[in-house]
A and B are shown apart, each in its own frame.
Chain A
Amino acid sequence: MTEPARKLVTAARLTKWVVSGPPFLFLLLFFVIPGIIMVLASFRYPGEFGGLAPLTAADPATLQGVTLETYRFFFSDPIYGQVFVKSIFMALATTLICLTMAYPLALLIARSPKKSRDLMVLLVILPFASNFLIRVYAWMIVLGPQSALSRLVNGLLHGLGMEPVHLLFSPFAVLVAMVYVHLPFMVLPLYTNLEKHDPSLLDAAQDLGASAWQRFWRVTFPLSLPGIFSGSALVFIPVLGMFAVPDILGGTGDMLIGNLIKEQFLGTRDWPFGSTLSIMLTIAVLLIAWLAARLAGRRGSYG
């Protein structure tokens, strides 16, 4: 290799390191290392006042060493499995509702004239301009017993001769707020996908005899699957770990995995069990992601 060529290669290599270095370090420090600490902590005993019990102690009566106790405990009580199943159902329901609401919206934006699209996308992300907690608290007012909505619903129920219901502090309230908070995360990837579709494909489908309904199901929908999958992942995964929304809007019986994990660290101060729950959550998410990727892979092997 000549001298200038070698210099070029060295410069390219240096650029690669300088550019990828900071994010690499950041992920190492705040993701990989805490993850390892969490895995290690899950095999320990809890300390008396939070934290972890020592690995070795002079007094043989104190808890010490390494154990599988937390995992045994997790599988011994069906309540934890039930919370997992309930959380997964909540996440699935949120994802499906977001999808059915976001799809027409994303399609509408993608097929609008170019100049109005940016404004519509801005409107979709506008809620992010106000604080997340404030927006969740706002639902307490919207769904509260004295709210116009509650009175309307209960008025209708009364008219039908049925018992009044509490909208707030219920799985319904949690679901509504979950959908509300995560809707933009579904709209944006769907829009990004739909906007790239070649309109001549729809012309071709129509020309070859496809009705409007067939054009959607045979062309638009299959081509939008990558957008559906990424949008669903962006909604499903955060909802599965969410604790703030059920904390604020859920009833006492509406505990989800997120609340359970938060409770272990901040309430009962059982760090090893909290770590175990987090790991089980991660495994659940990875399993579901793997399943989804397999489903997606079977359909979308085109470039």
Chain B
Amino acid sequence: MAQLEIRNVTRRFGDFVAVDNVSLSIEAGEFFTLLGPSGCGKTTILRMIAGFDLPDAGQILLDGKDLADTPAEKRPVHTVFQSYALFPHMTVAQNIAFPLRMARRPAAEIAGMTRQILEQVHLTDKADAYPHELSGGQKQRVALARGLVNRPRLLLLDEPLGALDAKLREEMQIDLINLQRDVGITFVFVTHAQVEALALSHRIAVMDQGRVAQVDEPARLYGYPKTRFVADFIGHINQLEAQVVESTHGHLRLAVAGLGEIIAPPLKDAAVGTKGVFAIRPEQVRIGVHGELDELKNHFAGVVHNLLYRGEVSIYQVELANGAVVEALLPNSAPGKAELFMACDEVKLGWRHDAGMFLRD
């Protein structure tokens, strides 16, 4: 039995359906992420789990018990807010002790638990500081400590890294992973940043317009997106309009207008004539000069259109014969040699027959 069960939950605001018949089940100890663009309903789901909002239809069950009649302050669920929402008139220690005091724990226990969690988030020396004396990263850690100290069944995190700068965000990601593993509490994390979601989560639910598009582990979500939306939202992906011309157990043969045929991994129930896109990640596309890559089943000639130098990698945008632009990613592992090809160079693109996937319209 899952720890948190969301069953057919719907939430409307006027005519707008913010959450549309969503069902999810989250296991105990899991780091679960709701990922999607703004307005996809992920924050509404979080607010309904916390108890700030109620579903119009459906049920939310925690440990098998329906939460409908439990007000927010009675739910064993705590939230880390995007703005941190630290109490400005309380010190760090008082902020952290707040949920313990609300739970009427004895004073000695409060002191001990506060000290322990302060150590865990490395803020022992800041116990008597006020929130306005802390840096962004420190505030973030206080908010986490305050959410965790009373050991809730669930910790909800609403874009908690959104306000931090890029460098700090990366450090906090590692801290979060370690903290979650140490405390063993189920995390439900909401974000629109797919990089964050991939790095942190055990499982991710990608949401689109109030519905769950796909729930999967990060690597499966990235490698085997089920819809064009998911493929497009998670990372970069090249897409070529295609139609199935042959479908066997071993492979798919796809026709791409103006380009030719592509051999792709097989797809169940893909009937001849089905329209869709062939999608392939830039790092799976190889780039070379004429005469190279001929051993690959899929190879096409093209012209380098643009070159994006990213430091660790370079991205080559290559225009194919039919006008479609395909990106190929090359790591810059050879020292001092970043630009292997220049704009307007005639090149060859190729990829293995088992790379990429066909996504139906």
Footprint of B on A, CB under 8 Å? 198, 200-201, 203-211, 214, 218-219, 222-223, 299-303
- Indicate if the CB atoms of B130 and A209 lie closer than 8 Å: no
Q: How many A-B residue pairs have CB under 8 A?
A: 67
Q: Which of A218, A223, A301 has the most CB of B within 10 A?
A: A218
**B251 beta carbon closer than 8 Å to chain A:** no
**B282 beta carbon closer than 8 Å to chain A:** no
- Indicate if the CB atoms of B130 and A207 lie closer than 8 Å: no
Give 28 A-B contacts (CB < 8 Å), ordered by A residue.
Answer: A198-B83, A200-B85, A201-B85, A201-B88, A203-B52, A204-B87, A205-B98, A207-B51, A207-B73, A207-B77, A207-B78, A208-B73, A208-B99, A208-B146, A208-B147, A208-B150, A209-B74, A209-B103, A210-B73, A210-B98, A210-B102, A223-B88, A223-B89, A299-B89, A302-B131, A302-B132, A303-B130, A303-B133
Closest to B88 in A: A302
- Indicate if the CB atoms of A207 and B50 lie closer than 8 Å: yes
List of A residues within 8 angstroms of B103 by Cβ: 209
- Indicate if the CB atoms of B98 and A208 lie closer than 8 Å: yes
Q: Which of A205, A211, A223 has the most CB of B within 10 A?
A: A205
List of B residues within 8 angstroms of A219 by Cβ: 87
List of B residues within 8 angstroms of A198 by Cβ: 83, 85
- Indicate if the CB atoms of B83 and A200 lie closer than 8 Å: yes
Closest to B102 in A: A209
Does more than half of chain A's interface fall in helix, strand or loop, or is it mixed? helix
**B79 beta carbon closer than 8 Å to chain A:** yes
CB distance from B148 to the nearest CB of A (A): 11
Task: Tell me, in angstroms, the Cα distance from A17 to B174 when the chains sit together.
Answer: 55
Q: Which of B53-104 contact A (CB under 8 A)?
A: 72-74, 77-79, 81, 83, 85-89, 98-99, 102-103
20 more CB-based (< 8 A) A-B contacts, given A208-B146, A300-B89: A198-B85, A204-B85, A206-B73, A207-B52, A207-B77, A207-B79, A208-B73, A208-B102, A208-B147, A209-B73, A210-B102, A211-B73, A214-B102, A218-B87, A219-B87, A223-B89, A301-B130, A302-B132, A303-B88, A303-B130
Task: Tell me, in angstroms, the Cα distance from A190 to B79 when the chains sit together.
Answer: 30
- Indicate if the CB atoms of A203 and B102 lie closer than 8 Å: no
CB distance from B226 to the nearest CB of A (A): 34
- Indicate if the CB atoms of B85 and A203 lie closer than 8 Å: yes
